[in-house]
Structure 1
C-alpha cells in the first residue's frame, strides 16, 4: 500500500476495532467502508478489508453480508490491479460494480497518494 494511504487506512481499521469493541456495529461498518475505499487498488489490503467485513457480518449474523463478502474477497485479490469501481463502499448491500462518490477527506488522501507514486 502507498505510504501516503497507509496511516489513514490503519486509522480506519483502528476505529473499526474500537467501534466493534463497543458494540457499535454500524459505526464499525462505516469505518470498514472508508478503509475499503482507501485500499481498493491494493489487492492484499483490499482483500483484508473484505475479510474484516465478512467477520463483522458473521458477528452480526447478516447472511447477505457474509455471502457477499465471500465473493468480494476473491474478486479483490483478482481484480484490484485491473479495475475497481472508485468510491464503492464494498458492502453487500451495494452493487460490487457501482462507482460511488468518494468522501472529501478521503479524496484528498487518495489525490495526494496518486500524485506521489512510490
Structure 2
C-alpha cells in the first residue's frame, strides 16, 4: 500500500494555477468557468490528502454559493472521506469530484492534464489506484 502525504513540488504550481483560475473566474461571475478549474484542481490534487480535501471544501463552498442542495450534500461525504482515500492511495483516477459524478468512478483524464502529470514525472494511471 502506498501512503501519499505531500504533493510533489513539480505538480504544485499546476494545482495552484487551477485554484487561481478558479478564484479569477469566480470573482468575474463566470461560475461555469470557475467550476471547470475546481474540477481540474481536483484531478491534479486528488492523490494527496490535504489538496484533495481542500478542493472538496472549495466545492462545498461553491455549492453553498449557488444554493445547490445536491452539491452541498454531495460534498460532505467527499470532504470527510476523500482525504483518507488519498492517503492510502485508493482514488478513482480522473474523477472530477463534483456531486454530478459518482464519487468512486474513474474518469478519462484530458490530454493537457495528462501532459501536466507527465511533466511532473507522475503517471496517474499506473501510480494511483482505483
Confirm or deny a common fold (TM above 0.5).
Answer: yes
Correspondence for 1:61 among 53, 56, 67: 67
Residue 127 of structure 2 corresponds to none
CA RMSD in angstroms, aligned pairs only: 1.1
Instruction: Structure 2: give runs of 5+ residues left out of the alignment.
Output: 1-6, 124-130
2:97 is aligned with 1:90: yes
2:40 is aligned with 1:34: yes
Instruction: Structure 1: give runs of 5+ residues left out of the alignment.
Output: none
Runs of 4+ in 1 over 4 A off after TM superposition: none
C-alpha separation between the residues in 1 aligned to 2:68 and 2:15?
Answer: 24
Residue 47 of structure 1 corresponds to 53
- 1:81 deviates by 2.5
C-alpha separation between the residues in 1 aligned to 2:119 and 2:92?
Answer: 19
Give the aligned length. Answer: 115
C-alpha separation between the residues in 2 aligned to 1:88 and 1:31?
Answer: 13
2:18 is aligned with 1:12: yes
